[in-house]
Structure 1
């Protein structure tokens, strides 16, 4: 299966290309808001519905579980019928899930089960949205420098959603606790309009592979590229686990030790996430099409995060805590666009949807596992958790060093 470019105006004019990138970046922003925005709402939801903390946490967990299961399916379908034909219906599906959760929370006396059902629909929609954006970038921007820059912008949008989520979630929940559910369909519709207006999808020239041939192709990919792909998958999962574990720890620490909650906690949490956001944007601009830069960006970012997290237990003051977690955020932010670029630029166009779907699934596993790991280890004190996260970040850097072996610009091995 091959694809042809249909972006003559967009690639010919900076303005058109800018709107295309903005439309693509709106999807990770919206998907991140749809999940992370609910984190400050969970305690209020628990009180309003009379449910336990474990039950309220399932509002986040079920979303991630459904997404993990269906991301590979969405990637397979996008390779067969096209990326945009998967992304737009998925956005509508996610919007429907948000509307279902919000309406039942508003109108029903016992809406918990229906809220979970709505969140599962959102997870199903999320599976066909952000993960499919990554291969679509490779399809639309064959120039490696442009693709890397676009991926940096997309990771920045993803991270900016994390920065904005606690602030916006606390603000909306302060008005009506279920209002964040209703806001999500609005955000999804904005992305749909932008996708329809500014993204002109490549068209398929050849018939898609039959399923057996597809399975054989996947096996061939991993036999050919398995060494570095396994490394990228593992690093992506590890770094997302580290990120969400230390955010969970920091959120709890701010409330329990420093008595910072509500909107103020949202603003404080935005500091390390803002650092992560800026690092993602800068890394996307710097790496270009140089795969050796991508490798060393991952190594340096992982090492910086590991060092910062290892030092945190030694300096318990709030100012040092925020500085060190911001440094950890910078490290992770620098590494993520490098991982994205290696995947999209190192895999053939017809294989990208499938490969990036596995990569996205590993990242979602890290997102789901991080808070659970943090909650369990925090019972045993601060140091065990932070030292384990430091070791995990270091393992990510070591995996990049040993498993990712790109050629340098001079033809050697980095």
Structure 2
């Protein structure tokens, strides 16, 4: 990897870490919020849901804007919005007798800020590096940062709630502003056109400014939509499959974690201890993502087969939980750790296939659809998990195993990389 861009990548990696903390950090605090505000469990769950729903709606818009106006110009205001909304939520909790509506409004604004920040990370990494190996490694690090945020979230959220239930709202601005400063100062936006291919001018002469060709000028929105539509007509099969695989993978992660969280509550495991147990399978997801990103390099077959192999491994673990019906804590945590490790192996390959397979001009828009599908999986996991748990544990894990198998088959048959493109 280019040494001079390591700070760029480290700064970019703070974005998914911050956005994950901003959402998942509240999950272990929801029971405390419910008691403090005198609200139902359903109303408390909306603190998570509205964040994801707003992000889902606006991600395609911010992806398009990042293609038109530049990645940093969209990311930086998004991070500021997340910070401001977090501060407002904390202030509302302190100042209002009935702050529920204000808190929901703040969470909606944070969802909008997340839509302008997190999804644009993938195309930004693709823009930043020239070598495909560096892109794959960078995406692996970004995915690791995302999953590391999930590892930290239950522990940090539980620890902050020991002080007061609204403490996590005040922590969000601190994380967001740190990310804002790092991105603003360390991330150098790549130039849109580099006709020299990155080579230095041997005579150290200042290159003459050339008039932009028509295809280098900014397209009108209508022309851009036509370009995206043509792209989906030509490559829709593998693009739609990639979107679906990413969304189902997030459903598997959050559906599994919801069951584990509920089971720990029933077994009187609370607070930081509960967060530490939840962190075990998430740590496996994080570690697997990191090493998978390094292993795949620029090899598109590795991207595909790594994803397929990881999903097969996850299917086997989830099937073992369904078929045996065992509920022992060690067995449950062990199988979920194996399942999430398998999913972690697959995620960097999906990110890399999508980022490297799409032209830079449309990369932000196309990857935004992928990010939206992942948010759909995040939003769907807990409520669908709750419905299935209402029937039985077996109903949940048979469903998760079947969904994971479908994910693996989609990867096998619908994503077909060749030496040139997926």
Judge same fold: TM > 0.5, yes or no. yes
Mapping 1:333-344, distance limit 5 Å: 333-344=344-355
Distance 2:6 2:191 in 1: 21
Deviation of 1:207 after TM superposition, in Å, equals 2.9
1:281 equivalent to 2:276? Answer no
Distance 1:386 1:105 in 2: 38
Mapping 1:177-326, distance limit 5 Å: 177-204=165-192, 206-256=216-266, 258-313=267-322, 314=324, 315-326=326-337
Deviation of 1:140 after TM superposition, in Å, equals 0.5
Equivalent residue number for residue 7 of structure 1: none
Listed one character per residue, the Cα deviations across residues 186-228 of structure 1 (whole Å, up to 9, x for unaligned) are 1001001111121010234543211110110111110111111
1:164 equivalent to 2:175? Answer no
Mapping 1:105-144, distance limit 5 Å: 105-144=93-132
Match of 1:359 among 348, 370, 373: 370
With structure 1 as the length reference, what TM-score do the two structures score? 0.94
1:30 equivalent to 2:18? Answer yes
Count of residues in Structure 1 that have an aligned counterpart in Structure 2: 398
Distance 2:269 2:106 in 1: 31
1:149 equivalent to 2:141? Answer no
> Aligned with 2:321: secondary structure?
helix
Distance 2:219 2:329 in 1: 56
Is the contact made by 1:277 and 1:333 (CA closer than 8 Å) also made in structure 2? yes
User: How large is the Cα RMSD of the aligned pairs?
Assistant: 1.3
Equivalent residue number for residue 6 of structure 1: none
1:102 equivalent to 2:90? Answer yes
Deviation of 1:384 after TM superposition, in Å, equals 0.7
Distance 1:214 1:140 in 2: 22
1:39 equivalent to 2:10? Answer no
Deviation of 1:343 after TM superposition, in Å, equals 0.6
Deviation of 1:307 after TM superposition, in Å, equals 0.9
Listed one character per residue, the Cα deviations across residues 37-81 of structure 1 (whole Å, up to 9, x for unaligned) are 000111000110101100000000000000000000000000000
Listed one character per residue, the Cα deviations across residues 126-165 of structure 1 (whole Å, up to 9, x for unaligned) are 0010100100011011210000000000000000000000
With structure 2 as the length reference, what TM-score do the two structures score? 0.92
Instruction: Name which one, 1 or 2, has greater alpha-carbon Rg.
Output: 2
Distance 1:183 1:298 in 2: 35
Equivalent residue number for residue 54 of structure 2: 66
Equivalent residue number for residue 417 of structure 2: 406
Distance 2:122 2:116 in 1: 11
Is the contact made by 1:134 and 1:344 (CA closer than 8 Å) also made in structure 2? yes
Return structure 1 stretches of 4+ with deviation > 4 angstroms. none
